């Protein structure tokens, strides 16, 4: 009993008081903590609770479909599957990514990078796409095992499909996964989104893409979905109709089969593009789900460059097609009249150098009509000297050469119309007489694209209007300028072009069609000056890289319809014999004279 006797230094009333103080402190602490959580951090925890209970889901908008002028689908959407994660629901995100890599066969490091990139653009408890495209058999495997992997889901999204394959690849382009730069520049994009990379898909990306929707849904404590409502609906991209006609396009592809080249057909009165062929081509569907490095290397290493859009990106010497510009310049400036003659003996001397006509024996006495009909070089050598380089350059630019046409396709080349000032600035050398001689027959530094030549020919027959080439059927004609020549001059030139097709000695008689007024101008453009041992060889006997390029620019008129047609065959040889049959095939398709499309 002595051992439990209260101390004289610790009064009996002190025990309850200490307990009271402790209780007060405890309740005060709890009260402060409650105030902190309810008042100071109330909004934060309210939001977290809402996120945990109320979640949001992105609703993907279908991309606008594309049809040809006859209503045939050429770019559409099909369902595609993607793997997504809600990272807050994944107990072990690394293990989850390991499993996704095993399901899909994706590289684990790439998957980690994809996940880390997507985190920055995905809210808490929001689905984050980590593998954009998976085949259906993988979907079935994931769905059968997904209950073991909380936070993993399969998302259905629209995917681009090009039913015509390579037929329209250079016009349509393709869509593919947005890269880091595109994601950084466009806040509307999410990781795994596809965007236009080339062609119309790139040029009209904003109109085709549409806008994503957003859905809110409630879940219980186990993550089970209880109900949903849409905050806003997705808006589908704009459907587009091309002016381009598939049967005509097929005719061009058939005509260029096995060759590298281009075909352009324009409605001469509106500028609408009815056909635009680049050969060889590629299948844009290969890019939609991600092309393999091996296949990509094969495409870019192909010596015929199937990824190059030749109608707008191949800028080559126009050869004798340029004589149409020279004739217009000569008549418009008064340097020549239709009856002005030049005697061609097969060669022309400038200083101590001799330039030859393509016909070694010469054309004899040549006037304007004969010069175009038989494509006499000497006539244009003489005309070039009369005009001078600056006058030729100025006139050619006013005809629309040396500048992009503005067609709705990316990466168009402007070509080049040289001048003495340009040469001095570019090479630091003076322009010499030989430069003028070369330019006079479309050689030397002057280069043009097939679509530029098509626009020029269209202007010759539509009243002189230089029109922007239009890919969309709904676009109204857009006049970019006027040819710097009178109606009478244009008639003289187009009549001479008809003579090229209709009269004896014409270089494009292969494109003559009964009942149709067809005019043309051939062009054979040297790639390099041929070595002497190849000069008398047939085209097939010359190494491919040394062969000339073949051009044929034409127009066709019947029953009020007017068209401009251009065929270009890379290293094809002679314009009439190589590009001529291509234009002939297009005329047959245009006027229903050829085989069924």
Q: Which residues are tagged catalytic?
A: 320
Q: Which residue has the tokens 């067809």?
A: 518
| CA separation for the pair 420, 319 (Å, rounded) | 20
DSSP line for 531-565: PGGGTTS-GGGS-GGGSPEEEEEEEEEETTEEEEE
| CA separation for the pair 498, 494 (Å, rounded) | 6
Phi, then psi, of 363 in degrees rounded to 5: -105, 0
Contacting residues for 425 by C-beta, under 8 A, at least 6 apart: none
| CA separation for the pair 552, 133 (Å, rounded) | 45
Contacting residues for 552 by C-beta, under 8 A, at least 6 apart: 508, 511, 520, 521, 522, 523, 566, 567, 575, 576, 579, 580, 582, 583
Q: Which residues pair with 159 in a beta bridge?
A: 78
CA distances in angstroms from 431 to 137, 437, 526, listed in the order given: 67, 11, 20
| CA separation for the pair 494, 461 (Å, rounded) | 7
| CA separation for the pair 408, 318 (Å, rounded) | 23
CA distances in angstroms from 541 to 490, 574, 575, listed in the order given: 39, 14, 17
Q: Which residues pair with 585 in a beta bridge?
A: none
Structure tokens at 330: 């000569």
Q: In 468-499, which positions are buried (b, 16+ CB within 10 angstroms) versus exposed (e)? A: bbbbbbeeeeeebeebbbeeebbebbbebbbb
CB 77 within 8 A of CB 65: yes
Select from 468, 414, 449, 408 the least CA-distant residue to 196.
408
| CA separation for the pair 521, 499 (Å, rounded) | 10
Exposure on the CB side of residue 452, measured as CA atoms within 13 A: 30
Evaluate the omega torsion of the peptide bond into residue 280 and state whether it is cis, within 30 degrees of 0: yes
* CA 263 to chain CA centroid, nearest Å: 16
DSSP line for 235-291: BPPPPEEBS--HHHHHHHHHHTTTS-EEEEEEETTT-BEEEEEEES---THHHHT--
Tally of residues, the chain:
597
């Amino acid at each position: 009993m002595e051992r439990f006797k209260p101390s004289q230094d610790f009064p009996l009333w002190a025990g309850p008081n200490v307990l009271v103080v402790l209780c007060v402190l405890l309740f005060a602490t709890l009260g402060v903590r409650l105030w902190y959580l309810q008042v100071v951090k109330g909004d934060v925890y309210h939001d977290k609770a809402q996120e945990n209970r109320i979640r949001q889901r992105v609703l993907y908008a279908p991309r606008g479909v594309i049809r040809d002028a006859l209503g045939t689908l050429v770019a559409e959407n099909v369902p595609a599957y993607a793997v997504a994660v809600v990272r807050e629901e994944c107990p072990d995100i690394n293990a989850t990514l390991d499993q996704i890599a095993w399901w899909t066969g994706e590289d684990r490091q790439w998957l980690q990078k994809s996940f880390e990139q997507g985190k920055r653009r995905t809210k808490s408890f929001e689905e984050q796409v980590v593998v954009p495209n998976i085949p259906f058999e993988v979907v079935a495997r994931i769905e059968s095992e997904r209950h073991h992997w909380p936070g993993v889901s399969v998302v259905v999204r629209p995917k681009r499909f090009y039913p015509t394959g390579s037929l329209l690849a250079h016009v349509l382009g393709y869509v593919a996964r947005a890269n880091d730069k595109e994601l950084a520049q466009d806040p509307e994009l999410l990781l795994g989104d596809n965007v236009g990379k080339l062609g119309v898909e790139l040029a009209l990306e904003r109109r085709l893409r549409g806008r994503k929707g957003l859905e809110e849904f409630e879940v219980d404590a186990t993550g089970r979905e209880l109900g949903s409502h849409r905050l806003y609906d997705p808006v589908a991209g704009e459907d587009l109709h091309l002016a381009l006609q598939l049967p005509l396009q097929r005719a061009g592809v058939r005509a260029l089969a096995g060759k590298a080249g281009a075909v352009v057909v324009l409605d001469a009165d509106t500028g609408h593009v009815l056909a635009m062929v680049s050969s060889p081509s590629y299948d844009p569907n290969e890019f939609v789900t991600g092309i393999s490095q091996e296949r990509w290397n094969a495409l870019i290493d192909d010596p015929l460059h199937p990824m190059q859009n030749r109608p707008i990106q191949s800028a080559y010497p126009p050869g004798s097609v340029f004589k149409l510009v020279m004739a217009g310049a000569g008549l418009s400036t008064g340097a020549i009249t239709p009856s002005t003659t030049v005697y061609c003996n097969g060669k022309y001397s400038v200083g101590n150098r001799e330039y030859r006509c393509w016909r070694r024996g010469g054309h004899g006495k040549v006037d304007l009509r004969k010069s175009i009909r038989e494509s006499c070089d000497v006539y244009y050598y003489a005309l070039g000297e009369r005009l001078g380089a600056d006058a030729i350059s100025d006139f050619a630019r006013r005809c629309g050469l040396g500048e992009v046409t503005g067609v709705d396709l990316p990466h168009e080349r402007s070509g080049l119309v040289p001048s003495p000032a340009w040469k001095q600035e570019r090479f630091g050398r003076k322009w010499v007489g030989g430069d003028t001689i070369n330019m006079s027959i479309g050689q030397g530094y002057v280069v043009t694209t097939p679509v530029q030549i098509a626009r020029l020919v269209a202007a010759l027959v539509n009243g002189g209007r230089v029109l922007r080439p239009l890919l969309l059927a709904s676009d109204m004609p857009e006049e970019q300028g006027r040819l710097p020549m009178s109606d009478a001059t244009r008639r003289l030139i187009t009549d001479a072009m008809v003579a090229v097709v209709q009269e004896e000695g014409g270089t494009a008689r292969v494109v003559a069609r009964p009942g149709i007024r067809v005019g043309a101008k051939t062009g054979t453009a040297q790639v390099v000056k041929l070595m002497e041992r190849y000069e008398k060889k047939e085209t097939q006997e010359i190494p491919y890289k040394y062969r000339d390029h073949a051009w044929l620019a034409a127009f066709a008129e019947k029953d009020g319809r007017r068209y401009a047609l251009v065929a270009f065959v890379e290293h094809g040889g002679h314009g009439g014999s190589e590009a001529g049959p291509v234009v002939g095939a297009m005329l047959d398709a245009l006027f229903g004279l050829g085989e069924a499309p």
